[in-house]
Amino acid sequence: MTLSEVDLAFYRHVGHLTVPGVFTASDTDAVVADIQVWGEEFLADLPAAQRAWYVDGGVQARQVLRKLDNPHHHRASVQRLARDPRLVSLVEALIGPGVSVYFSQIFFKPPEGGGPKPAHQDNFYFGPNDPDGLVTAWVALDDATLENGCLYFGEGSNRGPVYAHEAPEDEPYNLQLPAAILQRQPMMPAPVPRGGVSFHHGNTFHQSAANLSTRWRRACALHYVNAGTRFVHPALPYDDSLMMQIS
């Protein structure tokens, strides 16, 4: 798969780009089946002290995970996704050759209460030495719609600075942009069909709403860096040894 000059110009100008149809239904079904098993095993063994970090507080009827970290390291299904030439060619078009997955996440966003994610910038979390050397490839494992909590982007915020983030006292993992900054930035929805990929620059403001629908909104976020980029002043701890070289 390739990106046109128009695609690249759009990404540079607004800070994100949606590419539908990168993966097939069978591709996404295989990942969903695997992460559901992994999630059940992880939740069963999760210590009480860590549940606030991983369990979705918006779902009251049952305990369900909101996320899992580094599936590219733990699950072969996600490794295949991350190494797939259809995706890698698009990543290299955006940040150059010699790419690696530095960090990755599964977002479950369960039906009937899957919680929102406040607006933030990935580059504040990761602190890369080259702000343009990182791109997040957000793979939709289900249709991501307005109803079930698709991403919203602050278009053009990629061309601005990385701002200091803050977090609620009881949610240190929920680093987010201050309200005073967000008041100046409209946020635009970006639905993604299952199998599509939403790419966004590390400086781009993005957030998602709660999932109040009856449908899942699962996604896999793969944070790629180019050959010259590393996390040098991250806001949270990341394990450099888990970085997986792709090309």
Write down the CATH number for the domain with range 5-44+51-160+186-245. 2.60.120.620
User: Residue 114 half-sphere exposure, CB side, CA atoms within 13 Å?
Assistant: 25
- What span, in angstroms and rounded, lies between the C-alpha atoms of 29 and 31? 5
Instruction: Find out whether 126 and 103 touch, Cβ atoms under 8 Å.
Output: yes
Q: Is the pTM of this model over 0.75?
A: yes
Q: What does the pLDDT average to over 52-63? A: 84
pLDDT of residue 47: 92
Q: What does the pLDDT average to over 122-149? A: 98
- Res 61 pLDDT > 80: no
Show me where the domains of the chain are located. Answer: 5-44+51-160+186-245
Instruction: Find out whether 63 and 42 touch, Cβ atoms under 8 Å.
Output: no
Which residues face 190 on adjacent strands?
Answer: 151
Instruction: Find out whether 118 and 174 touch, Cβ atoms under 8 Å.
Output: yes
pLDDT of residue 173: 79
For 169-214, the pLDDT digits (tens) are 888 878 999 999 999 999 999 999 999 999 999 999 999 999 999 9
Please identify which residue in the block is written with the tokens 């709403």: 209
- What span, in angstroms and rounded, lies between the C-alpha atoms of 174 and 245? 28
